[in-house]
Amino acid sequence: MPRKTDGEKIDELEKVIATLTERLDNVRKEVEASADMKTDLALLKRDVQALQKWKDDLKKDTYEHSRRIWAFGPNLAGAVVNVLLSGLVSGTVAYFATRK
- Residue 95 is predicted with a pLDDT of 80
Is the pTM for the entire model greater than 0.85? Answer: no
User: Could you tell me which residue, 59 or 99, shows the higher pLDDT?
Assistant: 59
Which residues are within 8 A (CB) of 14 and not within 5 positions of it... i.e. 6 or more apart? Answer: none
pLDDT over 90 for what percent of the chain? 61
pLDDT tens digits for 15-41?
A: 999 999 999 999 999 999 999 999 999
Q: Can you give the three-state secondary structure of the chain, one letter per residue?
A: CCCCCHHHHHHHHHHHHHHHHHHHHHHHHHHHHHHHHHHHHHHHHHHHHHHHHHHHHHHHHHHHHHHHHHHHHHHHHHHHHHHHHHHHHHHHHHHHHHHC
User: CA gyration radius for the chain?
Assistant: 43
pLDDT value at position 100? 62
Residue-level pLDDT at 26:
97
Contacts of 4 (CB under 8 A, 6+ apart): 12
Report phi then psi at 4, rounded to 5: -75, 145
What pLDDT digit, counting tens, does each position of 52-72 carry? 999 999 999 999 998 888 888
